[in-house]
Amino acid sequence: MKINDHAPVLPYQASSQRYDSMPYRRVGNSGVQFPALSLGLWHNFGEHDNFSNARAMLRTAFDLGITHFDLANNYGPPYGSAESNFGRIMTMDFAQHRDELFISSKAGYDMWPGPYGVGGSRKYLISSLDQSLKRMGLDYVDLFYHHCPDDETPIEETVGALDSLVRQGKALYVGISNYSAEQTRQALKLFNELGTPCLIHQVRYSMFDRAAEHQLMPLLDDKGVGLITFSPLAQGLLSDRYLNGIPTDSRAANSKSYLQQDSVSEHLRQIKQLHHLAQQRGQSLSQMALAWILEKPEVSSVLIGASSAQQLIDNVQAVDNLSFSGQELQTIEQILSQ
């Protein structure tokens, strides 16, 4: 991992005011509370990223009241390196705060070669979590997800493996991610039969991606299962980044990015109108986009990413204004329906 800052780093002392401003929300029917905004380590924490920057972001997040850090076995690149670097930072800065933190990881997507390094089999899930714990230097994770459904593995096997991990003490809670409403319904039934409740579902959701509203969100609300959303800014579309074109250093300009230039062009009119409304609310567009998700009572937390401590500070300011007038919500719907 790149370390460009050679200045000595002072020992970390967490802010005594870290719990003063961040709202916390109950996760489904459980006893767990999540910060309104959680930090995802999908990008900017891998081997090729700046270690000092990653460390500063984690310190800043905790000082702002973010207690939930979300990882996966294949976050990096290369695979596993985000967990390894997180483990280093845990040892250096957060060991004494372990019981204040809620740490999650996942497995499901491709991780290592061969038939046992992907999917939803008992073999893969248990092996993967064992590897994740070693990389992070942890005895257990607070939450372990099946990262994506696997049509080639019986769902009974996948849910049974997650149940086993809780009973073995390697995970305190389990969850699922990217499951359809029907797959979720099947999984929840099996979890309940085994006596290990599903804590939460992690799903892609933003102003520009609202598929979860139709069946999944009502189902989770009805069953008392939490909901945490990822990609809340639609890979950066819902920010001030593209108001005046596509910067050369942006995700849309990177051919390897998930965000395509066509998406920017397709949504540009809406982005500008939403930006104008955000200004009227005294927020940036990204802050308003985060607040819009948190306006929904079904949402337990919103996963945000960051490339710098300052960007994290800016986005966390979304919690300063989470209320919308009826007229503002109607205006947003009109903009999004264009």
The answer to whether residues 65 and 23 touch, using CB atoms and an 8 Å cutoff, is no
Sequential pLDDT tens for the chain (338 residues): 554 555 577 999 999 999 999 999 999 999 999 999 999 999 999 999 999 999 999 999 999 999 999 999 999 999 999 999 999 999 999 999 999 999 999 999 999 999 999 999 999 999 999 999 999 999 999 999 999 999 999 999 999 999 999 999 999 999 999 999 999 999 999 999 999 999 999 999 999 999 999 999 999 999 999 999 999 999 899 999 888 766 555 554 445 555 556 778 889 999 999 999 999 999 999 999 999 999 999 999 999 999 999 999 999 999 999 999 999 999 999 999 99
Whole-number pLDDT of residue 262: 75
Q: Report yes or no: 105 and 129 within 8 Å, Cβ to Cβ.
A: yes
pLDDT of residue 263: 76
149 vs 28: CA distance, rounded Å: 21
Structure token pair of residue 250 = 């942006």
Cα–Cα dist 304/330, whole Å = 25
Domains and CATH numbers, the chain: 25-237+287-323 (3.20.20.100)
Strands 37-40 and 68-70: parallel
Within 10 Å of residue 256's Cβ, how many Cβ atoms? Answer: 5
Beta carbons within 8 Å of 204's beta carbon, 6+ residues apart: 178, 211, 212, 229, 230, 231
Closest by Cα among 226, 151, 162 to 191 = 162
